[in-house]
Structure 1
Amino acid sequence: MSSAVFILMINVSVAALLSITFLVIANYDKAFASARWICAAYAIGAVYYASEFLIAHFPASTAVATASYSALLVALAAYGVGIARKYDVRPPWRMLALLLVASILLNLYTQTLPRELILRNVLWQLPYAAIQAVSIWVLLHARRLGPLDRGLVGALGLSSIYFVVKPLVAVEAGGPGGTAGSYLDSVYALISQSTGIILAIAVALMTLAVYVGKMLSDATLKSETDTLSGLLNRRGFVDRADEILRTADRSGGPVTLILADIDHFKNVNDTYGHEAGDRVIQAFAGVMREVAGEEHAIGRIGGEEFAIVLSGTELSTARLIAEGARVAFSQSAVEGLADIEACTASFGVAQRHAGESYEQLLRCADIALYEAKNAGRDCVRTAPPVIRPNGNGDHAENRRMFRDKR
């Protein structure tokens, strides 16, 4: 058994295992259905590697050679479709179809050329590089690319370049063999198969990293999201707030905090039931999301208590945003509540002083919220810049009185 044959057997096994791996990912969550195309790509790739043995046994068969060549083309195309699905880019069906048909026709002509001709090797490899480049094109048209995505672009780029330089490798290695049957006994076959599987594994690992990274990101998001409101929970909100404050420390920009509490929420639950209370929570979350926008951190940090951290926003602007939320919520209709029952909320707004922590900023907004409750609810109050509580005792007392005001 030659070394190239041994490597080829390993290639078949590796491609099959990678196909199974991506099938598992595809079945993990319906959000990863695109991995089915990647699974198909590596399954077809395994067929391609196995077909190299058939070429050795049927060296004069144009049909076997064309089928083997087409298998790798289809595998690369399937991978491109999977990547397009993964990144929500419309698959370039027409481009892939034209490349596939043109490549197969070109290959039929290429097989009539002498094996030692370098032009033959160039025409044999260029279609592979072209279809591999489609995946790169798809990635570059994705909305945002992170480090893992850029790493995948790099791996695909190396694979495409390798297809282009393979004819030169063939020349340096003494050619692809005098006949199709002697290919597996050539030094070029050993180099080609070894390098090919290394690059295929590199692309597969980067692709796998992209999927696993998305899994971890989704898991983190779920752990930081309040299921009822769809907003950040307390843990997620505090983490996001701390991140905004660190950014503000570097940039010197203003940061404000809006603290909001739904008025008489316990009475809503007691009178109309918890299902109606849940709808009130969802309605208020929708209002907060609408007035704040996606660029700011919004969270449900307690039963009926919500907060927004506004980066790059002065106190006066934050108050207007809070006032807009107050008016919008008071005018919203919630299913399950009597027509005469108006939902209202109270708001406290505070602007951060340089160097203040999230906890210190929260205390100031909490004081302002208490003032809003004390003023009759359904209003907005701001924390005076000169008032900055230093200890926890006053804050704890404010919270006790605040709970009484609910």
Structure 2
Amino acid sequence: MSAAVLFLVVNFLIGLCFSAVFAVVSIYSRWRSAALLFSAGLFIASLTMAFELAVAYSNNPRLWATAAYGTVLAGLVLLHRGIAELYGRPFPAWVAISTFLAGMAVFIVIRDLPRSWWGYGFLYQGPYALVTFAATARVLLSDRKKPIDIVLAIVLAVSGLHFLLKAALAAIMGPGATPSAYISTNYAVMSQSITAVLIVAVGLMLLAVLTLDIMVVERGRAERDGLSGLANRIGFDKAVKLAIKKRGDRQHAVILCDLDHFKAINDTYGHHAGDMVINAFGTMIAAQAGGDAIVGRIGGEEFAVFLPDTPIAVAVAVAETLRLGARKMMVPGLPGGFVVTASFGVAASKPSDGAQDALHQADAALYSAKRGGRDCVHQAHGLAA
């Protein structure tokens, strides 16, 4: 087995492995379509190995050379389309098909030209390079500019340049007088070895982008309450700490609220009705607390609102708005005319103390509101609003 054939086999196996991995990732990723396009692109491109061997050892190298060129081009176009979906840069199917047909037309025009001509390699590799550079541009022009995205763009750009490098190497080293002779040239060994490295690099970077996205989504789910749609205790505390860190030495406010007689709602109308109350209340306070507010469900029927850069008097007014909003809620599963009420505790947050001390004070004010008859707002230190 020649070195070029060995690299062809290696590239085939690498392509199949990455194809299988992306197929599995598509099950878990929100970018399912992009992952499947990556899987299909790498699978189709990996078939080039079989066609390259057919070119070398069959009696009809012309047909197999066309198939070998077409599988690489089709694989690159599919990868490009997957990248376009991943980065929100449209690449319609008709454009992808037109790109593939244009590349194949170039190949058909040049395949009878002398392979020893220096320009042959650039015309041959040109469509590959253009498709790859176009994919690079889609990443760079997207709104996503995280380090992983920049690295992917660099790897794609290098991959595009490598096609031009191979064209230059073909002019210097010679690609073989005929398609059949290619497999036995030193150029073939160099070309396939470079390709092996870049398949791994591009595959790993695309896999890293999808994997990190899956991790972000799962982390978000771990910090969000599925019933109310709000942040859970972990997510609320994390968001509050980040807000305090960004805002610096300023005064904030905290509101704690608890649904009144929630156990009685569950016992009388069923847990489904209770779930609907939680959902409706969470939706209401998220809508009315204000754009900068951080809202979370931190217990069974207990909710918290963090109001950055907010004086205590304003926070009390917000709590009163939420109290009235609860009374106006129409909740599926509850009889008409049933009024949901909630009690509220409000406290100021000192930047030096963080939010925990304010939460403790708001909690004490909340229990004061409960003892004071419910359906009311109490400010910390027992001062009724």
Structures share fold, TM-score greater than 0.5: yes
The correspondence of residues 270-281 of structure 1 with structure 2, limited to 5 A, is 270-281=267-278
8 Å CA contact 2:77, 2:99 repeated in 1: no
Partner of 1:139: 139
CA drift of 1:151 comes to: 2.3
Q: Structure 1: give runs of 5+ residues left out of the alignment.
A: 388-397, 399-406
* Structure-2 change in CA distance of 1:8 and 1:365 (3 Å): same
Partner of 2:262: 265
Whole-angstrom distance in 1 between the partners of 2:162 and 2:319: 58
Partner of 1:197: 196
Q: Structure 2: give runs of 5+ residues left out of the alignment.
A: none
CA drift of 1:374 comes to: 4.7
Instruction: State the SS of the aligned residue for 1:351.
Output: strand
Partner of 1:126: 126
> Which shows bigger deviation, 31-40 or 105-114?
31-40
Partner of 2:180: 181
Whole-angstrom distance in 1 between the partners of 2:141 and 2:376: 47
Partner of 1:62: 62
The correspondence of residues 203-282 of structure 1 with structure 2, limited to 5 A, is 203-248=202-247, 251-282=248-279
Partner of 1:112: 112
Whole-angstrom distance in 2 between the partners of 1:322 and 1:175: 79
CA drift of 1:301 comes to: 0.5
Instruction: State the SS of the aligned residue for 2:47.
Output: helix
Deviation sequence 1:348-377 (CA, Å, 0-9, x none): 333321211332121132233344445543
Whole-angstrom distance in 2 between the partners of 1:193 and 1:311: 58
Deviation sequence 1:125-176 (CA, Å, 0-9, x none): 121122123333433454434332332222212111222332223334x122
8 Å CA contact 2:232, 2:296 repeated in 1: yes
RCO comparison, higher one (Cα < 8 Å, 6+)? 2
* Structure-2 change in CA distance of 1:93 and 1:271 (3 Å): same
* Structure-2 change in CA distance of 1:157 and 1:310 (3 Å): farther
> Which shows bigger deviation, 251-260 or 5-14?
251-260
Whole-angstrom distance in 2 between the partners of 1:201 and 1:373: 63
> Which shows bigger deviation, 305-314 or 224-233?
305-314
Whole-angstrom distance in 2 between the partners of 1:368 and 1:25: 49
| 2:345 is the counterpart of 1:348 | yes
The letter of the residue matching 1:280 is V
Instruction: State the SS of the aligned residue for 1:65.
Output: helix
8 Å CA contact 1:26, 1:32 repeated in 2: yes
The letter of the residue matching 1:166 is K
Whole-angstrom distance in 2 between the partners of 1:122 and 1:152: 24
Whole-angstrom distance in 2 between the partners of 1:245 and 1:43: 49
Deviation sequence 1:207-258 (CA, Å, 0-9, x none): 111222222223322322222212222222222222323333xx43543322
Q: How big is the alpha-carbon RMSD for the aligned residues of Structure 1 and Structure 2? A: 2.5
Instruction: State the SS of the aligned residue for 1:258.
Output: strand
8 Å CA contact 2:28, 2:214 repeated in 1: no
The letter of the residue matching 1:233 is N
Partner of 1:394: none
Whole-angstrom distance in 1 between the partners of 2:106 and 2:139: 27
Instruction: State the SS of the aligned residue for 1:338.
Output: coil
8 Å CA contact 1:59, 1:181 repeated in 2: no
> Normalization by structure 1: what TM-score?
0.85
